[in-house]
Structure 1
């Protein structure tokens, strides 16, 4: 299944991490008009584990980092199409300039977003001691679960970086899955803690996005 990896939805020409709101709207319209079915994280996992049949064109929409513009620009478009999405946030930066605050996160959750951890402070995990890695990972999960009353057992690696210690910490803490920035479609043959995604480049044309969305 394709898992799309978004970051900021806003205006910053030249920064490939930032996708212009009109481009994002065009991409979501394409999904709606061409029969794609955006999935909740729960649906995605059930399909990945072959416990539920997949719709004809499944796709998972993921957003990394927790930028405030996800609330301003992405959420209204997703609400218009009734599309769910998954947000990987770093609770330690919540409420800081440019980042979502908890009230916004709660509203997003109520509108159909799954909220999962991305480390407490978006660190370079392999540079940290085992103890600090554990703190970054488990504290982020604890805060999200405490604030939202949900289960936050799917991780996303900050900067896509991890090492054997990271994997051990996730396993010991009971995380079910983790997403990387390795490129490609997600399959059940991939290690559960090393799932691939498709990076959405803010500079690319709709046709290029469609090509990568439609072919593994």
Structure 2
């Protein structure tokens, strides 16, 4: 009887010891691993809250760096021509409205001449991070964000395999006169940069600092909620801006801003006062070529 009793006690002690080990191991896992997971989730939530973007910027949408032919690269401060267009449709009534065929002719000329169209991220890396770019680099931009940019310019960009940026007004994304949200999303997913042109296309230099900051923040938030990508660049409407505009652009989270002053975007410019080259729809091809070849920093 004594031997049987001792055997039972020994079995009970082994069971209790095993149970305690399991409990302690579980507690250790809970203590060391779960808080880390929760911490990551909290950190992510805080980042999303602070960005003011309820739709969450998807890191998978971050632009992947292209690999260029090293033999064509340069890292000097020659500057980059940044062309800017507006509406793209058949019309003879407005110098800011270019026909699709004329736009295609100009973009095809650039491609045939060996120009490489940069994204704004690539331009930013060149200007701010001293990254090399192809010797014949150029940036194509469209101001205002008209629906005809989607209907007429987008197919041309796809056909010629060229990069471009559209600076959008966000007050009325109706899909009729201005771009629809679906069109913005589709172009952004394809690789067209979608950036800010403020909410109402106001002359910023006539607004208070707080009003300017609101214009810049709200347009940025709206576009980021549609594309899921970071909006880090703005084109000042009418080219109108002042010191408050630059201050507000920094505060709103922009790293690049474009004027309407003719010149090349180069490293000597303030990154929030970059030059561009206006393309008038009345230019002949000869004028287009001349402006492209003679515009300096």
Normalising by the smaller structure, the TM-score range is over 0.9
Counterpart of 1:169? 248
Q: C-alpha distance in 2, partners of 1:132/1:173?
A: 12
SS at match of 2:133: coil
Question: Pairwise mapping of residues 11-22 of structure 1 onto structure 2 (< 5 A)?
Answer: 11-22=90-101
Q: Which has the higher contact order (CA 8 A, sep 6+)?
A: 1
Question: Pairwise mapping of residues 1-216 of structure 1 onto structure 2 (< 5 A)?
Answer: 1-95=80-174, 97-215=176-294, 216=296
Would you say the 8 A contact 2:167–2:197 is kept in 1?
Answer: yes
SS at match of 2:202: coil
- Using the size of structure 1 for normalisation, the TM-score is 0.96
Deviation at 1:118, TM superposition (A): 0.6
Deviation at 1:210, TM superposition (A): 1.2
Structure 1 ranges of 4+ moved more than 4 A: none
Q: C-alpha distance in 2, partners of 1:96/1:121?
A: 16
Structure 2: segments with no counterpart, 5+ residues: 1-79
Deviation at 1:96, TM superposition (A): 5.8
Structure 1: segments with no counterpart, 5+ residues: none
Q: C-alpha distance in 2, partners of 1:113/1:162?
A: 26
Q: C-alpha distance in 2, partners of 1:129/1:23?
A: 40
Would you say the 8 A contact 2:147–2:175 is kept in 1?
Answer: no
Deviation at 1:52, TM superposition (A): 2.2
Would you say the 8 A contact 1:4–1:197 is kept in 2?
Answer: yes
Would you say the 8 A contact 2:262–2:275 is kept in 1?
Answer: yes
Would you say the 8 A contact 1:83–1:112 is kept in 2?
Answer: no
- The size of the alignment, in residue pairs, is 216
Q: Which has the larger radius of gyration?
A: 2
Q: CA RMSD, aligned part only?
A: 1.2
Structure with the bigger percentage of helix:
2
Would you say the 8 A contact 1:10–1:18 is kept in 2?
Answer: yes
- Using the size of structure 2 for normalisation, the TM-score is 0.70
